[in-house]
Amino acid sequence: MTGTGAAAPRTGWPAISGVVRRLPEYLTIWVPLLLSAAHLVSFSLWTIWISFTPSTLVPVSGWVGLRNYTAVLASRNWKIAFDNLLLFGSAFVLLSLVTGLILAILLDQRIRGENVLRSIFLYPLAVSFVVTGTVWSWLLNPGLGIQKLVHDLGWTSFRFDWLVDRDMAIWTIVIAAIWQSSGFAMALFLAGLRSVDADIIKAAQIDGAGPIRTYWHVILPTLWPITITVVVVQLQFAISAFDLVRALTNGGPGIATQLPALVVYDLMFQRSQLGRGAAAAVLMLLILLAVLLPYAAWRYVQRRRATHA
């Protein structure tokens, strides 16, 4: 019944009287959507335009060709930020998925205090990024936080100084970010786990499958669609993680944890180099498109396949 051809009736362009009658409907549908789309498109176009101008403190017109782009691409800040984004983005998305899944599976075991535990894993979502970054900058500081605590407890050769280590500092951001947002992944996965058909589980149990096999072969595969949603939301978080990084490392030690969002803000507002900042922002968008377009194309192909099936 559903899914064949146009399941819902298409509203075309009916006669004038029809249009007037349905004006409230058109307005309600189109005005918010158009406002949203318009602001996104126009802001993006504006930024692209600025990236080709010699703007510094305020936007000005002019044309400098690709000079802003070459300046950004040649800077150490950008190179480090780009590498960091690839590393941080993939590590964070993957690890927060896994963490959320583990938490969801644990909570799914019908343990006591499930409500309290769910709140404990969800509350970090309510905390602002600045607070998260600041508190974790204390916890992960070797002289103030976890390393000091362990030393005080007696284990003096323990080392956990990633925060001040140029090579490992990016992982501290991963830790803080996972703390902040894995609750969302957990909520989605828990919802998915709870909605798996009970009969399928019983069938697997009757077949003699142990708990791990049941999960791996029966339950987890049904979570695939949810995983996509989680990945999209976490990816968005990774790209825009700005306040958190500023509060946690401020791009340091040195410039080892620079990320594109910080570089854009730094160039645009701290260094008063709007043109270069805009160029960096456009580069950021291109990176995003490089990730999202293949996904969108894949979905498009899937839909076509579904409607032709």
Partner 1 sequence: MRDRTFAPSRILIYLLVSLFAAAYLAPLAVVVLNSLRTNQEIAQASMIGWPKQWAWSNYLAAWSGFCVAETCAGIRPYMLNSALVTIPATIFSTMLGAIAGYAVSLWRFRGDNWIYGIVTLGLFLPQQMRLLPWTIVLRDTGLINTLTGLVLIHTIQGLSFTTLFCRNYYIAIPHELIRAARIDGAGFFRIFWRIILPLSAPILIVTVIWQFTHIWNEFLYGVTFTTGQQQPVTAALIALSAAIADIPQHGVQSAAVIIAALPTLLIYLLGGRYFVRGLTAGAVK
Partner 2 sequence: MPITITRRRLLAGSAAALALPAFARAQSAVKPRLTAISQWSAGSDGAAITALGKKFEEKGGIWQHSPVPGFTTEMMNKLRAQIIAGDPPACSQLKGPEIAAWSKIAPTVNLDALVAAAGYEKVVAPDLARLHKPEGKWISLPLQIYSTNMLFLSKRAMDKAKADKIPVTWADFNDLAEKMKAGGITYPIANGGTRPDDGQKFEASFAGISPASYRAAIMNLDKKALEGPEIKAAFAQVRKIANWMDPNVGAQPYATNLKRFVDGDMGMMIQGGWAQGVLRNAGFKFDDFIIAPGPSDNSRPVFLLNADAFIFWQRKEPDLQAGQTLMAQLVMDPAIQTMYSQITGSIPVRTDVDLSGDGWSDGQRRTAAALKDAVANNQAVLSLAHNMAQENGLTAAMIDVLTEYVKNKTITPEQAVTRLAEAVEGSR
Residues forming contacts to partner 2 in the complex (CB under 8 A) are 42, 46, 56-61, 71, 74-77, 137, 140-144, 161, 163-164, 166, 248-250, 252-256, 266, 269-273
- Candidates 211, 221, 254, 294; binder of partner 1 (CB under 8 A) is 211
Instruction: Output the CA torsion sign for 236, 238, 243, 244.
Output: positive
- Candidates 19, 94, 228, 301; binder of partner 1 (CB under 8 A) is 228
Of 201 and 265, nearer to partner 2 (C-beta) is 265
Binding mask 98-117 for partner 1 (x = CB under 8 A): ----xx--xx-xxx---x-x
Query: Using CA atoms, how far apart are residues 240 and 257, in angstroms rounded to an integer?
Result: 14
44 binds, among partner 1, partner 2, none (CB under 5 to 8 A by kind): partner 1
Of 99 and 257, nearer to partner 1 (C-beta) is 99
- Candidates 128, 221, 254, 272; binder of partner 1 (CB under 8 A) is 128
Looking at residues 61 to 100 of the shown chain, list those that interact with partner 1 (rule: CB under 8 A): none
- Candidates 62, 65, 154, 225; binder of partner 1 (CB under 8 A) is 225
5 is written with which tokens? 């051809």
Query: Using CA atoms, how far apart are residues 160 and 147, in angstroms rounded to an integer?
Result: 5
Query: Using CA atoms, how far apart are residues 214 and 208, in angstroms rounded to an integer?
Result: 9
286 touching partner 1, by CB under 8 A? no
Give the interface segment with partner 1, choosing from 22-30, 74-82, 84-92, 154-162 (CB under 8 A).
22-30
Give the interface segment with partner 1, choosing from 155-163, 164-172, 192-200, 250-258 (CB under 8 A).
192-200
198 touching partner 1, by CB under 8 A? yes
9 touching partner 1, by CB under 8 A? yes
Of 218 and 274, nearer to partner 2 (C-beta) is 274
Do you know the residue count of the chain? 309
149 touching partner 1, by CB under 8 A? yes
Give the interface segment with partner 1, choosing from 62-70, 75-83, 157-165, 268-276 (CB under 8 A).
268-276
**b/e sequence 135-148, b meaning 16+ C-beta within 10 Å:** bbbebbbbeebbbe
**Which residues, other chains included, contact 114 with Cβ-Cβ below 8 Å and sequence gap of 6+?**
107
110 binds, among partner 2, partner 1, none (CB under 5 to 8 A by kind): partner 1
- Least Cβ distance, residue 189 to partner 1 (angstroms): 9
243 binds, among partner 1, partner 2, none (CB under 5 to 8 A by kind): partner 1
- Least Cβ distance, residue 183 to partner 1 (angstroms): 8
Q: What's the distance, CA 240 to chain centroid?
A: 7
Residue that has been written with the tokens 């803080």 in this structure = 176
141 touching partner 1, by CB under 8 A? yes
Give the interface segment with partner 1, choosing from 61-69, 76-84, 132-140, 249-257 (CB under 8 A).
132-140
Please answer whether residues 189 and 230 qualify as being in contact, where contact means their C-beta atoms are separated by less than 8 angstroms.
yes
Q: CB atoms < 10 A from the CB of 249, how many? A: 25
Please answer whether residues 53 and 272 qualify as being in contact, where contact means their C-beta atoms are separated by less than 8 angstroms.
no
DSSP string, 19-84: HHHTHHHHHHHHHHHHHHHHHHHHHHHHHHHHTTS--SSS------TTHHHHHHHHSHHHHHHHHH
302 touching partner 1, by CB under 8 A? no
Closest CA to 239 of 122, 130, 90, 134: 90
Query: Using CA atoms, how far apart are residues 85 and 280, in angstroms rounded to an integer?
Result: 13
